[in-house]
Structure 1
Amino acid sequence: MLTPLTPLTPLTPLTPLSALLPLSHDDPHTLGGHRLVARLGSGGMGTVYLARSATGRTVALKTMHARIAADPAARTRFRLEVDAARVMGPVHGARVFDADPLAETPWLATEYVLGPPLDEAVSLAGPLPEPAVRALGALLCAALAQLHASDVVHRDLKPSNVMITADGPKVIDFGIARALGDDHLTRTGTAAGTPAFMSPEQATGLEHTSAGDVFALAGVLTYAASGHGPFGSGRHADLMYRVRHADPDLTGVPAALVPVLTRCLDKDPAGRPTTSGLAALLHPGQDGGSFAGHLPQPLRMEIARRVGGVWNAPPPRLPAPPEHTLTPPLPSSTPPPPSGLSRRRLLTLGGGSLLGAAAAGAGAWAWLDREDSTTAKPPAPAKDPAWDLLWQEPVSYADPRIPPAPLLLNGLLLVGEYGLKGLDPATGAAKWADPAVYFMRRTTTDGTKVYAADYTLDEADPLRVSTVDTATGKLNAPFSELKDLRAILYGTQLLCATADAVYLAGGRGTHTRDGFGKDQTWFLLKVDTRSGGRLWEVPLPARPAASPHLHFLSARAVGRHLVLVQQSADAEPRLVVHDALTGRALWDKPLQGAQPVLNRAHLAVDDRHVYPGAGELVALGLADGKPVWRFEGLTPKARFGPPAVKDGVVYAVEENRGLVALDAVTGAPRWAEKSRAVAPEDLAAPPAVGLSYVYTYAGASSGLVATDIRTGAVSHPFKAARARYFADASAGRLIAIGGEYVAAYPLA
């Protein structure tokens, strides 16, 4: 199976100066004759700075971390990126002012581009009108033609690599660009690029020619015209399959552009037009005018705003940490940036920008969306909760097989899907990151200890379960060795834990890389955390060969009951309850509903009932699964989002009504919002129940709503990205988990 080859951290000189991160105490003052002003961001490959030359020119200065620069292949790729950026030139790309790939710290100084990337532009202003798409496409054809004329292919053209400026688009990020026919930097079994915009030949690991860039350009134009890519979104493997075999989805593309883009998305490279041929098909015709004249007004305003922010005062350099501090905490007092900042900046650079652009004229997602004082406001508590971004970190939940969620325990926050990060929930500072603690689904907590199933063993080694040293992230000596179960089988899961037991799914049979094997057998087990002994074992249904569907999506142990959302081979979830003492199955029910599977996988459980997240609001008895009460809602057959339960109260969002609070024992209403529009996508996640407020996401137009936990009075909504929110009461933090980030706010 081909796996995407991660490119070098792309250069993204796009954020207005007022939103920059302060320099760290150990950042250099100058580099390559440039005075460093602030950070644009930092990631696994390097750091990008805003800097000024001796003559006052403002540049984006990209550097490579020393440990990365020690790798000759990484240095070669950096040099090729510099060469490709020079080939693209200043008209169609960011002008290269100077570079030194051979320096101890390799660096590249380019033009500081004033404009948003295309993905952010579409998020801000919606799909572009047809004349703008045609003008964009014609100019990008010219950009690629210039690159191809030097026998260089980009190989990673996508919306986030196309910057929209008043003068036209600029193509950036040449981290995996290379000369035609030169494949020595592509590892065997890898496919370099971004799956959603790969060419079929690239997804298959074959030579990516200039025709592959045309295919990617058609994907970019599809996105610009419709707001979605031609092959959808999702897991990398699914995307790469659709790129190779499925017809493109051109829904929403203007009719006149459909035949043009269809030709460019031909699976056969020979069937695609050249860049010059495509430019002729896209020529905007007789309407003329500047490129900016084709852009929607909100997008033109955003470009102007960024231009005006270049000479704002930069943030002061951070002081050195106290001598006794081993790991400096991230700053919690950095002011939130203005609107329109790129989600991509954080995801690819790991920078301190906020994630997700809000609508034009509104603040970025941590900003309070304040109305004019004359505007009527909904009822609010005497004092609205504090709301300010405290920290954020890049983290990968790019391919979730279970609902993305952190592990929360006192003083430690575990996040990530592949390779966990241990963070201080108060500051976001990294406590540890150890590849030995690898899959989130192989890790669980009882609220005090962290347990992990070792993934570093050989194929034939037995499954070993250990506690994790919460100070270092290292695996302690295993307390349980299950000799008949294999260590590295794909479907192994640590489901949940109590003070005296861990519940897990383990298997026997031959190892397979990315799914189940036909000769495997699987079991649900309970293991004593003191003796390491197996307390009981229950067989699980067989899985078809190569099936990616895990046996369980969520689990909770409450008293004598083990509550599970179990997934069938065809991915449908069921609510299953076992006797926790014996393993005997007590009852199970299908979790039927219109919501996606992961939305139905949330569990709300107390010591009496389980409250399924499958569209209706009902309490089922833990012992027998029979309905105890059912809340009908404001309208017949009203749909509800997944509920949450705390301190005897059940909270859920009702479609076309908002948040409701019910007595957990009787189902009697405590309070309810009067009425607000609730889109289907806003029913995806349960409320986050804090100390004084319940937090729910109310859509892009409203953002995050904090509701008084006693009265139901709604505070002023806060601009926020769509994410899953979790209350960490011990740290006083509201944790937001997005696809590739984690962030924290004060918890009220």
Structure 2
Amino acid sequence: MRPLSHGDPIRLGPYRLVGVLGEGGMGKVYLGRDNTGRSAAVKVLRPELAHDRHLAQRFVREAETARAVTSRGVAQVLDAQTEGGRPWIATEYLAGPTLDQAIAAHGPLDGPALRALGSALASTLQDIHRAGLIHRDLKPSNVVLTSGGPRVIDFGVARPEHGLTLTTTGQIPVTPGYGAPEQVLGQRVGPAADVFSLGAVLAHAASARPAYSGEHVAAVQFAVVHGSPDLGAVPPELRPLIEPCLARDPAQRPQPASVAAAFAPPRDAHRVWKRGPLADRIKEHEALAEQFATLPGTTAGDARPSRRRFLASLAAGGTVLALGGAGAAWWWTAEESELPAAADAPPADLLTAVALHESPRPLWGPLKVAAPQAAGMLPLRDVVMVAHPPGGLAAYKVTDGKHKWTLSEVSPSAGLLRLTEKLFVAGDDSGNVLAFDASTSERRWSVPADAENLLATAPDGGTVYVQTKDGQLSAVDVTSREVRWTRPAPAGARLDSAALGAAGAEHLVVCTGDGTYFAVGAATGEEAWTVERNASSATAPAVEDGVVYMGGKALTAVDLTSGDEIWSLASESLSSQADNWGPPTIDGSRLIAVDDGGGRVVDKVGGEVTSRFWLDGTEPPRTPAVVQGNTYWVVEGGTSSGVSAFGKPSSEHRDMLVWTYESASDDSGSDDSGSEGPGSEGPWYVAAAGNRVFLMNSGSLVALPVF
């Protein structure tokens, strides 16, 4: 990580750039942060090359090809701008070392770890090829090891399967030692070329040295075309699995599916990414990424640091990331900042100090915006959306609470879901699923789906899952604007309007009104697994990295694909009620959930309780906790006693109650005191974005600052 220098942009689209991750002949890769606090790797074409038509076309192709692959084994494209003077592509910022870095630090992978690597990479290649593409540059530096497993990056030279290798004078067509013989010779290549590269990568991972070497590039390329791989340091039991991948004849190489099957790892091999020396290195990267995402800064009472001071600290080794009060935040000075896009709200400042005995005032509100029984809200871009009486949807500016627009055509009772960084989806009385621009309320598309309840959207925004009016499941394909499939719920599960869902890349998880959890495949809707009556009522699941986390009778982590239990944490309560655990919330490597009135911070991998905080009530809330700034925001006393903010384990207010907000309801709509009042009847709803927390109770909406 290096600081920005003269000539580097400060902002690209929604991303504020904070440093340089790397650079090459075509451009630079920056670390960026959007208004929600999410980090991204932003790849930018160099200004002097942006007007080169061929290079610009290659850059456009990279964005298009990367978007076409939806496998969880690749870094997902978040956004792109391929026109204008500064084309850029934003992808997930993956926290972890590259494979070559890991091998240099820890030596070759052992048998189970290598099998896990080989199986994962082969499956990812299968997904890439299924999209009609060839990666063409698989090598150790293009594999990032994360806590969720290996991820493939860099689609800069990916081409459709029918593409020829294109080079210019003096340009090496492929990375020496990892490109297939047909690539070295400039011949037509197919998916088998990626299999050769996979074999070379696995040989390197198994032996800590390349399969092909030489004194110079030409010697390495000659060895690839005419020689044999050096597998002498590869464990004997693994050579028969790697050697076929390195056959000079493409027709003699196995298919990726066969490689994935041959490398099928032992049941617990995935733990290599979770525990041990390699996992510790991954956690170091995750911790650094989290520090970047939260932008910690000066201690309470210090003046705001300038951009220059921050970048100078980065240049000195990035130590600023470990300094300063955890309750504070670093942000740009007004003189040096760029205005955000008109449709995107800037993040609110984090409070730099907290007076524990004096609650800070709300940013705005409470405002009477909805009927008392109205449920749910969604902040997105520059607005927060809530149900509008007597029907429809209303949006209020997140910066000052002023009304921005109203939509009468939607039915809020069907649900409201974020689709992308700019779009949300809602339903109407006729069962249509509709997508709108959050900032302008402009309708983008509509699909007839007989929808009664919107359950979830896919992580890539490509699918909307709904419950139909006759109690079935449907998947709406966003690209084709059609219903992809409709199926009844699995046996033993009955869908109703209380059902809640969450989606991974390849599966949808639903919890029904009677607490039964089930998962179906994203492609076909076929049942993957069912856990009957794990709770007594609908309890929202949380999904990340192929694992689903469930509340209810126990806090449980389950493999998203198989339904196998990974770990389970029993309640510490003496109560006999069926549901002691509320819905979990994911915060990096941690889960936050309430166990019968006691908040628990739980290690996501092993299920151990690492920290605790205490609530007034004994009933777990039905609303998941919200993470924003350095605090967790949790509904107190089940549903009707207010919302409290607790310090994160990493903050200076570790596990402490920072303050409780109890007075969001006011008929006049003018009370903005934020003082601890008498409380309000009815449930509380919590949402957060841009260093703001939004609370709604009895139809009143208030925006609170974040610590």
Tell me the TM-score normalized by structure 2.
Answer: 0.41
TM-score, normalization by structure 1? 0.39
